[in-house]
Structures are given as structure tokens and as C-alpha cells.
Amino acid sequence: MNRFDYIRPASVPEAVEAAAVPGSTYLAAGTNLLDLMKGGAARPERVIDITRLPGLDRIEWLPDGSVRVGALVRNSDLAYDDRFARTFPAVAEALLSGASAQLRNAATVGGNLMQRTRCAYFHDLASACNRRAPGSGCDAREGENRLHAVLGWSEHCIATHPSDFCVPLVALDAVAEVAGAHGAREIPVDALHVLPGATPEQETALAPGELIVSLRIPAEAAAFARNARYLKLRERTSFAFAVVSVAAALEMEAGAIRKARIALGGIAAKPWRAREAEVSLEGAEANPEAFAKAAEMALAEARPSGDNAFKIELARRIVARALTLALDGTPEAMPALPASPFSTTPGANHAA
């Protein structure tokens, strides 16, 4: 870890001002930043510790029914907040399927939104990586890439976004509230993470020095509370990043689907909202054919970036499964194995 100046501002404006100096980075819990610094993928000259900023650790319900979650709220505190978990169950389930209990106890909402890719070539300083070192190339492209992106990738970068939390957030139209040198603004989470294109080093829509101060989930998202799931396929039962994951939410009306939300994780440089698939379900009867069609549409544009064609088929299947599970209804209690296929029944249509 390189040497750095440690700065502990007392207010958001102070923090933003401190971060205006090039080479600065914000530190919250550090569960991602310290990992990056130990590996050398991040070498900030100034570390701005925002953990003491006042007012960012609250879960605040607004009069219109939306919720504002401070950027410093810990993942576990949010997931275990009763009202939050009841209102946005897929978000709570996603949170509890991520990392480990210890990491969730530390990691913050803002930090989760800002976490960097797990692409091994990004973390390996000896590898070419356009995301870490613009213009150096992408060694993942011809490398060990069975878990890399199948949607939205470019020749310059095939990394995926590792967050679970962000997947249902994107599905539910959550918004990041941002402070910066030029004032406050809002960025939909769907627009926060950007696809690599020719500039993979540009990972988010934030301007330098901008700070996420809170997250807002709109009131409309609560309409999905009864039929919302997050499903995550992993290579071990717990404490693993997603091979593919999906958040699926349905608003049912008299047996038909009024609205649907679908977002995928682990398959692109951002959480992937499948809007056309959602539209295909609106007004449709909720049945396996409709779900299969939606799954097909969600992956219509997918193509392998390497040895990962299986992820496309897997993603199709997991979309259909998650929709089935959402239709079955949000479980009364958080499953013992949140988001695991083994947490719950695969659905009646799979019985032999």
C-alpha cells in the first residue's frame, strides 16, 4: 500500500472540497478500497475519510412513500431494517447474498455502489487492463474469461460489475443523490455505472470529486413487494460472487402481470436492466411461456466475450426461474440461504 495523506473532513462540503485535489479518493468502511490499495490497483495520494460525516447514516422514509438511505448506512443495517426489507424484499435479499456477514456489517451503501470489478486482469498489475491503465489493452479478452461479460462489453473491456445490491436497485429505478463542487444532483443507478465502450476507465457517471451522499428508492417500487426475488448462481453455496444473478419483480393484478422488472448481475460492466423483456410481460398472463420469452428477450443481444457462452444460456434460465419464484410470491421470511437456488423450491413446473 502506497503512502497517502489521511484527511478526515467534518462535513460534506469539506469532503467535496478536499476531494477536488487530484489523486484523492473517498474512504468509507474500506472493504473495497483497502483491498484495492493492498493489491495496488488503487494508489491514492489522499484518502478522504468520510465515515464521520454527519447525517449520512440514516434510513429516512419520505412523505411520498419513497425511502432515502444515507450513503454510510451499513449493508446489514439496511438489509435487516424491517420496514425496508418488507417494502423492498429483493433488495434485502440481494444485500444478504453478498459477501459475508462481517463484510456486510462494515460495507456501506455508497461503497457498494462504488465497488470495482472483480476482473482478475484489473487486479493483476502485470496484466494489460484498459480500465486500470487506459490504452494498455485488455488481457482478459484472450485470457481466462469464463466468467466475464456477455452483454454490453467492448473490445476494450469485458469486465463485469460485481455488486448484488445494485441489481435490484437498477430494477427498481433507484436514484443516487450526489454532492459535488458544482452542487447536488441525482443520477439514476442505472446510469451511474457505464458500459466500457472505448473508455473503460470511465466506470461511473460521477464527475471527479463527486460524492454519493444517499440513495433513493421511489415509492412506486414498493408495488412489487409481494412478488420480488433476487436469485444468484454461485460456485459455492455462500461467500462467492455471482456467476449470474437476477432481480425479478412483478406487480400482479387479477392473475395477470401489470408491471414487471428484471435486472441481471454478473453479465455486464453494469447491472443490466432488461426493459424490453419487462415490456413483453406487461399485461401478459404469468406462465412459463411468457417467462421463457422474457428470458429470451433479456439475452437477445448477448454474445460471448470468451469461454463464456454458457453464461448466456444460464442467464436465460435464471431469468425464467427468478420470474417463477417472484410469481410464487415473496417468502414470508428471508430464506436461510438468501438468493440461493437452494433456498427455495425450484417451482412446480420442474417436478418430475
Partner 1 sequence: MGYHMSLSIRLTINGLKREIALDDPRVTLLDLLRERLHLTGTKKGCDRGQCGACTVLVDGRRINSCLSLAASLDGAEITTIEGLADGEDLHPVQAAFIAHDGFQCGYCTPGQIMSAVGLISEGNAGDDPERIRELMSGNICRCGAYQGITEAVLEAQKDLAERNRRDAA
Partner 2 sequence: MPLETTSPLPQHRRHGSSAGQPLTRRDGVLKVTGRATYAADNHPDGMLYAVTAVSSIARGRVTALDVEAAKAHPGVVEVLTPANRPPLAHDPDEKMPPFGFRVEVLQDDTVRYVNQPIAIVIAETPEAATEGAALLNPQYEVEPARTGRESGERFDPEVIGIGAPARTAHGDIEAGFAAAVRVTEADYVTPPQYHNAMEPHAVVAQWDGDRVTLDMPNQALALSCASHAAYFGIPAENVLIRSPFLGGGFGSKAILNGPQILAILAARMLDRPVKLALTRAQMYGPVGHRGRTWQKLRLGMDEEGRLTALHHQALCTTSSFDEFLEPAANASLPLYASPAILAEHEGLRLDVGTPGPMRAPGLASGSAALEVAMDEAAEACGMDPLDFRLANYAETEPTTGKPFSSKALRECYAEGAKRFGWSGRPHEPRTMRDESGFLVGWGMGTAVFHCPHFPAEARATLRADGTALVETAGADMGQGAWTALAQIAAEALGLDPDQVELNSGISSLPDGGIAGGSGHTASAGLALHNAGEDAIARLAELATTDPASPLFGAGNIGVVARAGRLHRRDDENRSESYAEILARAGRSDVVGTAKAARDPAVASAHAMYSHGAVFAEVKVDPDLGQIRVARLVGAFAAGRVINPRLVRSQYFGGMIWGASFALHEEAIADRRTGRIMNADLAEYHVPVNADVPSLDAILIPEDDPYVNPIGVKGVGEIGITGTVGAIANAVWHATGVRVRRFPVRVEDLIISREFA
CA distance 18 to 143: 39
Grid cell digits, residue 25: 479518493
Please tell me whether residue 83 binds partner 2 under the rule CB under 8 A: no
204 counts as binding partner 1 under rule CB under 8 A? no
Residues in the chain: 352
Cα dihedral angle (121, 123, 127, 133), rounded to 10 degrees? 110
CB closer to partner 2 out of 19 and 246: 246
Query: What's the min distance (Å) between Cβ of 233 and partner 2?
Result: 6
Compose the 293-322 pattern: x for residues touching partner 2 by CB under 8 A, - for all others. ----------------xx--xx--xx-xx-
Number of residues that bind partner 1 (CB under 8 A): 40
Instruction: Give the contact letters, 224-263, x = binds to partner 1 (CB under 8 A), - = no.
Output: -------------xxx------------------------
Interaction of residue 194 with partner 2, rule CB under 8 A: no
Count Cβ neighbours within 10 Å for each residue of 188-212 and write b for 16 or more, e otherwise: ebbebbbbbeeebeebbebeebbbb
Contact with partner 2 (CB under 8 A): which of 57, 81, 124, 328? Answer: 124
Cα–Cα dist 336/78, whole Å: 17
- In the complex with partner 2, the residue whose CB is nearer, 51 or 344, is 344
- Could you say which of partner 2, partner 1, none residue 220 binds, taking C-beta under 5 to 8 angstroms by partner kind? none
Q: Among residues 82, 236, 332, 333, which is the contact residue for partner 2, using CB under 8 A?
A: 236
Q: How far apart are CA 7 and CA 47, in angstroms?
A: 6
Interaction between residue 351 and partner 2 (CB under 8 A): yes
**136 touches which of partner 2, partner 1, none (CB within 5 to 8 A by kind)?**
none
Q: Is 45 in the site for partner 1 (CB under 8 A)?
A: no
According to DSSP, the β-strands at 67-70 and 256-265 are: unpaired
For residue 295, the minimal CB distance to partner 2 (Å) is 11
Cα(281)–Cα(251) distance, integer angstroms: 10
Residues 131-190 that bind partner 2 (CB under 8 A): 139, 142-144, 146
Cα end-to-end distance, the chain, whole Å: 55
Single out the residue of 142, 144, 119, 125 nearest to residue 203, CA to CA.
Answer: 119
Q: Which of 15, 107, 233, 290 binds partner 2 (CB under 8 A)?
A: 233
Beta-strand runs (E) in 40-198: 46-49, 59-61, 67-70, 175-180, 183-188
Q: Exposure pattern of 69-91 as b/e (b: 16+ CB <10 Å)?
A: bbbbbbbbbbbebeebbebbbbb
Rule CB under 8 A: say whether 2 interacts with partner 2. Answer: yes
> Rounded distance, CA 161 to CA 268, Å?
6
- Binding residues for partner 1, rule: CB under 8 A, are 1, 3-10, 14-15, 17-18, 27, 29-31, 34-35, 38-39, 47-49, 51, 76, 80, 99-103, 105-106, 237-239, 336-338
- Binding residues for partner 2, rule: CB under 8 A, are 1-3, 40, 118, 120-121, 124-127, 139, 142-144, 146, 233-241, 243, 309-310, 313-314, 317-318, 320-321, 337, 340-342, 344-348, 350-352
